Amino acid sequence: MVTDINNLNNMHLDVLKEIGNIGAGNAATALAKLLNRKIDMDVPRAKILEFKDVNEILGGAELPVVGILLKVSGDLTGNIMFILKQQAAALLVNMLMGRPLDIVQEEFSEIELSALKEIGNILAGSYLSSLSALTNLKIISSVPDLAIDMAGAILSVPAIEFGKVGDTVLYIETEFSEGCARVVGDFFLVPDYDTYDILLRALGVNC
């Protein structure tokens, strides 16, 4: 029996948030090591949204963002996304490449795009491996792909998968910030509709 996401109770949501906490905590540590800087994260949010509200999660459907998406397969299927505002992505690249932070380029070069994808890869990898260790589920991620475009267009990618089975979508979201709060990114785990109960059951929660 698949749990209807509209019927998830507060305990289910708390468990899903905790998953975000553990996954994103590991991802934040990985990012901090990579940049050799302090990375903060806020309390994860588990959001059940109607489609009409999906576009606005990041504060505007037309906001230009860098989205790094990985498909998740194995026992758990879905999508994992790291979304950064364009300027934050530029700062992140500068930090990674040891360049002055006050020079913000408009366009990314091939090598910078590749660096951003790799950051997405490392963060998603640490997020998912901690989740895998916690649940004993086999979780595999695809190679990362990157798109620079409107937030609405990028956020709709995992939402469409939900459209086939329901009218709502669940995002487990965690926000990251660098010490001086200049680099802010949002991490989204969007498990497929049919995999919530696998996830919840693996953690010993009855649906």
Partner 1 sequence: MYKFIKVGMADLQSSQHPCIITTLGLGSCVGIALYDPTRKVAGLAHVMLPSSQQARNNTNIAKFADTAIVKLIDDMVALGAVRTKLIAKLAGGAQMFSFNDTSDILKIGARNVAASKEVLKTLRIPIIAEDTGGNHGRTIEIHSEDGKLLIKTIGHGIKEI
- Per CB under 8 A, residues contacting partner 1 are 51-55, 61-62, 64, 67, 69, 71, 142-143, 145-157, 159-161, 163-167
Minimum separation from the CB atom of position 61 to partner 1 (A):
4
Minimum separation from the CB atom of position 150 to partner 1 (A):
4
Of 1 and 180, nearer to partner 1 (C-beta) is: 1
- 3 CB contacts (<8 Å, ≥6 apart)? 12, 196, 197, 200, 207
Question: HSE of 145 in the Cβ direction (CA atoms, 13 Å)?
Answer: 9
Of 98 and 164, nearer to partner 1 (C-beta) is: 164
DSSP H or E stretch at residue 202: helix 196-202
Of 50 and 102, nearer to partner 1 (C-beta) is: 50
Of 40 and 62, nearer to partner 1 (C-beta) is: 62
Q: Say which DSSP state 4 is in.
A: P
Of 28 and 154, nearer to partner 1 (C-beta) is: 154
What are the C-alpha distances in Å from 65 to residues 58, 151, 157?
9, 6, 14
Q: Evaluate whether 43 touches 176 at the Cβ level (below 8 Å).
A: no
Residue recorded with tokens 């990114």: 185
The candidate with the shortest Cα–Cα distance to 29, out of 152, 137, 129, is: 129
Is the Cα dihedral 55, 80, 111, 85 positive or negative? positive
Minimum separation from the CB atom of position 100 to partner 1 (A):
25
Of 115 and 157, nearer to partner 1 (C-beta) is: 157
What residues form DSSP beta bridges with 45?
Answer: 173
Minimum separation from the CB atom of position 6 to partner 1 (A):
11
Minimum separation from the CB atom of position 125 to partner 1 (A):
17
Minimum separation from the CB atom of position 36 to partner 1 (A):
30
